[in-house]
Structure formats: C-alpha cells, structure tokens
C-alpha cells in the first residue's frame, strides 16, 4: 500500500523535471552561446561578405552572364578566374569549386560550394566516415571531407604553387559553405601540414573561412588551428550545433526536425565535461564568428552584431529550438546579414577615414590580440584535459605531455608522413629525431619510455 501511495509522488517529480527541461530549452537562444565573447572589428570581418559572394559564384554556369547574382553582383572579374571545376571535372570526388586571383585584395581564393541535395556523390562523401575513423596531427577529422580536400590539393597543386610563388605578398584563402566549409577547413589543415607541396608556403599566409561550418575536427585541432581557420555562424544555424555525425544528419534529412529534437533531449542529459573528454567528438573548426540579429521574445530582425572568440568549452554545444534553424544555414541569408553587419561596423568605426598608417597599426594590434587569445585557448584546453591538447612552448614547439600509447600513435603518424613525402633520414624533423633518440635510450637501458622522459626532464 505504501508503494502505491508513492507512485503519484514520483509522477509529480517526473512531470516537474520535464517541465524544467522544456522551460530551459525554450529559453535557450542563440545569443546565449556567445554572450561573453568580444565584438568583432571591421578589419577582421571584412573578407566574409566578399567570400560569401565568391562561393555563390560557383553555382553559376557562366560568370559573364550570371543568372542568380545577389544585389551588387558577385564582385568577380571573370578574367581573373584561373579555373572553375564542375561535378563532371571532379567526378564526384569533391564538390565544385573555383580558383580566383583577387588582385584588388591581394588574395588567392579557392571557393567550394555547399551540398547539392540532387547529387548522390555528395551523400557518398558525407557517409564516408565513422567516429574515430581518421586521425591526423594528433586529432580526429571527418574522413570523407579529408579525402575530398586531398583530391583537390593533388589536382590543383601545380596551379596553386605557381600562384603562391608568383605573388609572394598574396594570402592563400580557402572558403566554403556547408559541405564545402568542411572541405575548405581540411584543405587549410593539409596545406599547413604539407607546406612543401606549395613551395613551403608560410603558415601566416594560409587562412580559411568556413561559412555555416560542418563539425569536421576534434576539439584539440579546432583550437590549435584557430590562427588559420575561421568559422562563421548565423544566429540559430543547426549544423555547427549538431554533434550528430554528418552522415546521420543527411540520411535522416526528411525527418530532420525530429532528429534535432531527439538530439536536443539527449545532449541535455550529457555533461559538458563528458563531451570534452571524448577525443572523437567533432567540432566546428577554428575561431568562431557569431552573427546575432534576433532577440528572444522580439519580432523581426535587429541590426546584426558579430561576436568572436576561440572558445574551448561552450562551443555551440546545444541545439536551439527555433523555426530559423534551417533558414539560417542558407548562404544567401548569411551573405545578406554579413554585408549588413560589415556596413554597420564601417559606419561606427569610421574606418574609411582612418589614415593608412593608423590602419596598419590597428591590424598589427588586432593580430597581436588574436595571438594572445589563441594561446589562452590552448592553455585552457590543456587545463580542461582535452584529449591530445598541447600547449606551445616559448620555442614554438609543443610540450610533450601525452600518455605512452598516444606517443606511439604520434610516432607512427610522423614516420608515415615522412615516408610518404620522401624525406631522408637527414631531413627528419626534430620531433622525429627526438623520438628515435628516446627509443634508442629505452633499448640501451631497458627502461620504459616514461622513465626515460622523466629522467631527461630532471637532467634538463
């Protein structure tokens, strides 16, 4: 009898818990994700609207006779387009893209289009992945996107190398939307790791702008490459917030709202510490720019504000229950709101009237602030015990603070990379030579790797 009397009490507790969950989820808006971030400046956000228009230009069959150009046009000189690849050219190995030599902004741009719902090859690219399937540079990435990026780099390596060497003062920019954003991010990562393919291009010349980014790399890589990769998110966009693997999202495309609601309920029950400790969990890459132009319980759109940061925890971890979750993913809306946001920045800053010398000083200050913020994010990743996270030392290398098993995996990757690039033993990197020295000491003394490392640190 006493057990039966307790059932209504349990039902009341359960109903209260459900009501609390629903209340918290309904009150959670996109503005909460970036409310503690800093406000972006016009100098750093200036390329975003322009690159959005370049991505839109990939959809055109004939750039000299465009059919769907946005107000003001694409801003492209057809004579400066070095190449334009279609699905017939890529044979389904990568989305269509174009290579544009932007003399007006001293930029070499490779722009990749987004997902084509009518093309089976795009779905095959997305389905070519499982959690933990592909590891690179000490982290995990989306296997299909990495293979597409590798195919693009191998195909256009000669042209890119020629342009990089011919215009040494130009930056090399990879940009893409949705599916293309993942390919662009992987391209930037592969180019940085294999700079010799493009004539030893410097890391500071390489950059990427991922528009409506896919979650394509693990947290340690997302933070480590924040000085190269930038992700742009419009308000409630679902894709950067959905930790569900991309292959599951697009195989469930016709019941996407149901999938998002189920994912929303599941993520609420998982602590953020548990999410961070999963080394295979993928995230939106690099530095994040969040365009906020709607407020809770308000009708219509407000003047957009762009916030930016390199977050480690709270990195778009919760789905926003919004009727705009899918429309905010459209490249047309992102280009429109990014243009509005940049116009407001220019009006507020009066940047058009600033002398050239002061503009250069502002850019140097901005670069220094971004560098300090990047180092702080790397340090926080180490503090939070993010798997495979490493903090750079004052000498530009990364501290060896990994487990024995992880060191062996990194050794295998380094040896594979050196053998694939044809390096001789005299050209090996200091990290590889250091690992070989540790192995010889282990064989000589009969000690474990950790004991040798501990003894070497004590000696130093």
Find which of 116-120, 274-278, 351-355, 408-412 is predicted with most confidence, using mean pLDDT. Answer: 116-120
Q: Sorting pLDDT into bands at 50, 70 and 90, what band is 419?
A: very low
Residue 349 has what pLDDT?
73
Residue 417 has what pLDDT?
44
Please give the DSSP secondary-structure letter assigned to residue 41: P
Work out the number of other CB atoms within 10 angstroms of the CB of residue 203: 13
- Chain length of the chain: 460
Q: What is the spatial distance between Cα 387 and Cα 219, in angstroms, rounded to a whole number?
A: 8
Q: Sorting pLDDT into bands at 50, 70 and 90, what band is 360?
A: confident
Q: What is the pLDDT of residues 166-207, one digit of tens each?
A: 999 999 999 999 999 999 999 999 999 999 999 899 999 999
Residue 109 has what pLDDT?
98
Percent of the chain whose pLDDT exceeds 90: 46
* 139 within 8 A of 390, measured Cβ to Cβ: no
Mean pLDDT value across the chain: 80
Q: Sorting pLDDT into bands at 50, 70 and 90, what band is 380?
A: confident
Helical axes 179-193 vs 143-166, angle rounded to 10°? 60
Q: What is the pLDDT of residues 326-356, one digit of tens each?
A: 889 999 999 999 999 999 998 887 655 666 6
* 214 within 8 A of 177, measured Cβ to Cβ: no
- As a whole number, mean pLDDT of residues 247-254 equals 51
- Of 107, 208, 104, the closest CA to residue 163 belongs to 107
Residue 455 has pLDDT above 70, yes or no: no
Residue 212 has pLDDT above 90, yes or no: yes
Coil vs helix vs strand at 329: helix
Identify the sign of the CA torsion 432, 434, 437, 439.
negative
Label residue 235 left, alpha or beta by phi (over 0 means left) and psi (-120 to 50 means alpha). Answer: left
* 87 within 8 A of 119, measured Cβ to Cβ: yes
3-state helix, strand, coil in the chain (%, to 5): 55, 15, 35
Rounded alpha-carbon distances, angstroms, from residue 233 to 113, 249, 271, 287, 324: 16, 18, 24, 11, 13
Residue 173 has what pLDDT?
98
- As a whole number, mean pLDDT of residues 10-36 equals 65
Higher pLDDT, 415 or 53: 53
Residue 244 has what pLDDT?
54
| Residues linked to residue 108 through DSSP beta bridges, in sequence order | 101, 172
- As a whole number, mean pLDDT of residues 107-113 equals 97
Percent of the chain whose pLDDT exceeds 70: 68
Quick one: which H or E segment has residue 207?
Answer: strand 206-211
Calculate the dihedral angle through the C-alpha atoms of 436, 189, 327, 325, rounding to the nearest 10 degrees.
20
């Amino acid at each position: 009898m006493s057990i039966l009397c307790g059932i209504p009490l349990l039902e009341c507790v359960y109903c209260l818990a459900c009501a609390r969950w629903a209340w918290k989820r309904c009150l959670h808006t996109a503005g909460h994700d970036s409310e503690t971030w800093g406000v972006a400046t016009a100098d750093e956000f200036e390329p975003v609207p322009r690159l959005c228009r370049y991505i839109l230009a990939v959809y055109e069959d004939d750039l000299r006779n465009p059919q769907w150009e946005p107000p003001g046009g694409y801003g492209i000189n057809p004579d400066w387009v070095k190449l334009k690849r279609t699905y017939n050219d890529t044979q389904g190995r990568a989305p269509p893209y174009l290579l544009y030599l932007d003399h007006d902004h001293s930029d070499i741009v490779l722009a990749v289009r987004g997902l084509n719902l009518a093309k089976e090859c795009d779905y095959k690219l997305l389905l070519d992945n499982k959690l933990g399937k592909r590891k690179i540079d000490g982290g995990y990435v989306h296997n299909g996107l990495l293979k597409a990026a590798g195919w693009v780099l191998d195909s256009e390596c000669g042209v890119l190398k020629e342009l990089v060497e011919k215009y040494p003062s130009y930056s090399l920019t990879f940009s893409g939307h949705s599916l293309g954003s993942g390919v662009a991010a992987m391209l930037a990562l592969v180019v940085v790791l294999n700079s010799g393919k493009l004539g030893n291009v410097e890391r500071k010349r390489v950059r990427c702008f991922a528009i409506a980014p896919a979650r394509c790399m693990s947290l340690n890589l997302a933070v480590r490459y924040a000085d190269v990769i930038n992700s742009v998110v419009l308000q409630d966009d679902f894709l950067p917030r959905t930790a569900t693997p991309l292959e599951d999202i697009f195989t469930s495309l016709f019941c996407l709202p149901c999938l998002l609601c189920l994912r929303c309920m599941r993520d609420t029950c998982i602590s953020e510490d548990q999410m961070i400790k999963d080394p295979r969990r993928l995230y939106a890459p690099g530095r994040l720019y969040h365009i906020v132009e709607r407020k809770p319980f308000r009708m219509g759109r407000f003047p957009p504000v762009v916030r930016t940061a390199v977050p480690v925890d709270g990195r778009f971890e919760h789905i926003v229950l919004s009727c705009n979750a899918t429309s905010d993913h459209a490249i047309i809306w992102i280009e429109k709101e990014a243009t509005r946001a940049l116009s407001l920045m220019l009006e507020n800053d009066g940047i058009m009237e600033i002398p050239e010398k002061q503009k250069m000083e502002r850019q140097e200050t901005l670069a220094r602030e971004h560098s300090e913020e990047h180092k702080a994010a790397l340090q926080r990743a180490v503090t939070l015990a993010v798997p495979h996270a490493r903090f750079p030392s004052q000498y530009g290398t990364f501290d060896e603070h990994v487990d024995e098993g992880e060191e062996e995996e990194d050794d295998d990757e380094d040896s594979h990379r050196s053998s694939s690039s044809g390096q001789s033993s005299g050209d090996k990197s200091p990290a590889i030579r250091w690992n070989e020295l540790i192995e010889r000491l282990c064989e000589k003394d009969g000690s474990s790797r950790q004991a040798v490392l501990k003894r070497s640190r004590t000696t130093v």
